[in-house]
Structure 1
Amino acid sequence: MSTLVDIRQLTRSFGATAVLGGIDLTLAPGEFVALLGRSGSGKTTLLRILAGLDTAPAERLHLTTWRSVVFQEPRLLPWKSVIDNVALGLRHPDARTLATQALDEVGLSHRLDAWPLTLSGGEAQRSALARALVREPELLLLDEPFASLDALTRLRMHELVLALWRKHRPAVLLVTHDVWEAVALADRILVLDQGRFIREIKVDIDHPRRRDDPRTGRIEAALLEELGVLPTQD
């Protein structure tokens, strides 16, 4: 199978502090992978390297150039309308048409000319998602994009992301602190601790996934235990 990301022995240090300690990572086209870890485990550093916002030595570092990022904050320019934010930097003769289509996909066709400061939190993140997807990336990087949303809006965003993933089929790497979010969305979950992967779990369960399903419950419990939230079972 071809890979969009193929990394071997990636390291990253800041001064004397080693943040990534020689990790290997592959991502295949269409995969949905979630990355879990405690604060300071190296998740954001890894995502920044994958996004091309940071550099680090590695034995092998292959990354697709067709990638987009959605951050925890929407990062919309307040002096540009929603449609102009989505079309920003898009080098295509029909950029506004493509931006309109992308906003329609995320349910914001009625907010094309709105100013970012008038958007709700969910609308702002949907705009950021449209801005990322309008470029048709092979790799979509999500850096805790739902962390600041209320519980109901977060669930709706989960459904939207899954629908858009099925339609566009990018590989997705989701960085999150929310264990259930990882179980609900991803096909593969990686746990990062002190700059190294310590656990990988494949989630072979059809969507939509229910929290009262014993299979998802076992996976969630195993991840919580790995993260030190639940006590180890004897």
Structure 2
Amino acid sequence: MSNIVDIRQLHRSFGGPAILDGIDLTIAPGEFVALLGRSGSGKSTLLRVLSGLDAAPAEKLEIPSRRSVVFQEPRLLPWKSVKDNVALGVKTPDSRSRASQALADVALSHRQDAWPLTLSGGEAQRAALARALVREPALLLLDEPFAALDALTRLRMHDLVFELWRKHKPAVLLVTHDVWEAVALADRILVLDQGRIAREIRIDAPHPRRRSDPQLTLVETELLQELGVEPSHA
């Protein structure tokens, strides 16, 4: 089966040094890829290109038209109910029933008529996930969607994202600063450094993944060192 994302020699700069310097990237249908990198490495720029928010020259750029993005902030419209927020962008007669089903998938059926400002941080991110998935994307882009959540809520969101990925089977690109988050969820981890993919690691360990697994501990340590972080200080 052909790749759902195929990018060759992607360059992006803003009048200075290259932000993206000849990136080659492929993502297979249904694959879960995590993207790590230090601040300023080009992660957000690459995600903006993949989402269609930013144009960039490339020798080859194939991205599916059906794609959705979940950002660090839920970006829900405060004057619309949770269900109406989820239904945004769905141009079919059954948009509201599809929104209800998406909210059921993220365990928010009981909050579908609520106003966004009454939601907790975790509930708001679940609503944002439902809004992304209701469009049935071939590619789901996650831009540090759990960064603002407390540790316990973040772990619950990891489980939820994994279950939603297994059910809906989109290809996923997760941009994160959290090395364990990448190890816990992804099939493949890429490390971006100075606009280039500096490292690629595939993980075949079954789910759920535990930090007590020595194989995963080694992978986490290796990635931390690649990012210039001593594991003892992680």
Q: Secondary structure at the match of 1:89?
A: coil
Q: Which residue of 1 aligns with 2:38?
A: 38
Q: Which residue of 1 aligns with 2:207?
A: 207
**Mapping 1:60-139, distance limit 5 Å:** 60-139=60-139
Q: Which residue of 2 aligns with 1:225?
A: 225
Q: Which residue of 1 aligns with 2:25?
A: 25
Q: Secondary structure at the match of 1:224?
A: helix
Q: Deviation per CA, 1:207-230: give whole Å up to 9, x if none.
A: 000001101000000000000002
Q: Secondary structure at the match of 2:58?
A: coil
TM-score by length of 2: 0.98
Q: Secondary structure at the match of 2:145?
A: coil
Identity over aligned pairs, percent: 77
**Mapping 1:130-169, distance limit 5 Å:** 130-169=130-169
Cα distance in 2, alignment partners of residues 143 and 5 from structure 1 = 17
In the comparison of the two structures, how many residue pairs are matched?
231
Q: Which residue of 1 aligns with 2:8?
A: 8
Q: Deviation per CA, 1:22-49: give whole Å up to 9, x if none.
A: 0100000000000000000000000000
> What amino acid is the match of 1:170?
P
Q: CA RMSD in A?
A: 0.7
Q: Deviation at 1:2? A: 1.1
Structure 1 segments of 4 or more deviating over 4 A? Answer: none
> What amino acid is the match of 1:83?
K
> What amino acid is the match of 1:33?
V
Q: Deviation at 1:17? A: 2.7
Cα distance in 2, alignment partners of residues 116 and 167 from structure 1 = 26
Unaligned 5+ segments in structure 2 are: none
Q: Deviation at 1:89? A: 1.9
Q: Deviation at 1:176? A: 0.1
Cα distance in 1, alignment partners of residues 162 and 188 from structure 2 = 14
Cα distance in 2, alignment partners of residues 15 and 77 from structure 1 = 34
Q: Secondary structure at the match of 1:145?
A: coil
Q: Deviation at 1:20? A: 0.2
Cα distance in 2, alignment partners of residues 211 and 16 from structure 1 = 41
> What amino acid is the match of 2:99?
A
